[in-house]
Amino acid sequence: MASQFIFHSGPSSAELITPSKAASVVGGSWSVDSANTYSFTISNDLVTEKLLNGSTETISLNSFYSTMGGEPLPEVTSGYVEYLNGNISGEQGQIMAMYIVFSSSSNAKNFFSQSEVTLQISSSNFNKISNNEFIAYTPGGLFGEEYDSIILVLSGNNVKIVSVIAPNPLGTSQLESLENSF
């Protein structure tokens, strides 16, 4: 079993979404990708990543941002990123769960609001559940044969994100069930 990670607040276990939880919500079979699942802390422009497979590395903040999509995240202090790989009726799927801790609730809200605007523009279907939660759907694959179902939830100085790439879009209750796992 993987060792426990320590956060400023938030998840205290090595898995945000267990493979059995993913299977019960999405169907199919799932496994955690331990080579790409990690906790991180940011201090003095350095990011320390503790991978689930046991290795630790320290990288520059710029290198870290390039792996996170290139956009700087204002005042992030720590977080956890988990990838699960799955098979749903013979089709490949992936779940990415992310828990991000910001230094303040205003920084978390700014990130949440910027993500909301970006996904509202780029998604094929956008559903604002509340002022602190939204869901976006984006078709993917070469011929639109898969969907990326995304939920973002803001809670104080934390943002939770779940992205599920699967043959069919997930419903609101399915996404909320995954997000409520952590």
Q: Indicate whether 1 belongs to any domain.
A: no
Q: pLDDT value at position 15? A: 80
Q: pLDDT value at position 10? A: 40
Q: Which residues of 106-136 are buried (b: 16+ CB within 10 A; e: fewer)?
A: ebbbebbeebbeebeeebeebeeeeeebbbb
Q: How many domains does the chain have?
A: 1
Q: Indicate whether 153 belongs to any domain.
A: yes
Q: Indicate whether 98 belongs to any domain.
A: yes
Query: What are 64's two structure tokens?
Result: 């870290």
Q: Indicate whether 124 belongs to any domain.
A: yes
Q: Indicate whether 11 belongs to any domain.
A: no
Q: Indicate whether 44 belongs to any domain.
A: yes
Q: Which domain holds residue 113?
A: 19-180
Q: pLDDT value at position 1? A: 31
Q: pLDDT value at position 102? A: 95
Q: Indicate whether 6 belongs to any domain.
A: no
> What is the spatial distance between Cα 132 and Cα 146, in angstroms, rounded to a whole number?
27
Q: Which residues of the chain have pLDDT under 50?
A: 1-13
Closest C-alpha among 97, 118, 82, 80 to residue 164: 97
Q: pLDDT value at position 63? A: 78
Kindly report the three-state secondary structure assignment for every residue of the chain: CCCCCCCCCCCCCCCCCCHHHHHHHHCCEEEECCCCCEEEEEECCEEEEEECCCCEEEEEHHHHHHHCCCCCCCCEEEEEEEEEEEEECCEEEEEEEEEEEECCHHHHHHHHHHHHHHHHHHCCEEEEEECCEEEEEEEECCCCCEEEEEEEEEECCEEEEEEEEECCCCCHHHHHHHHCCC
Q: What is the CATH number of the domain that holds 166?
A: 3.40.1000
> What is the spatial distance between Cα 38 and Cα 130, in angstroms, rounded to a whole number?
29
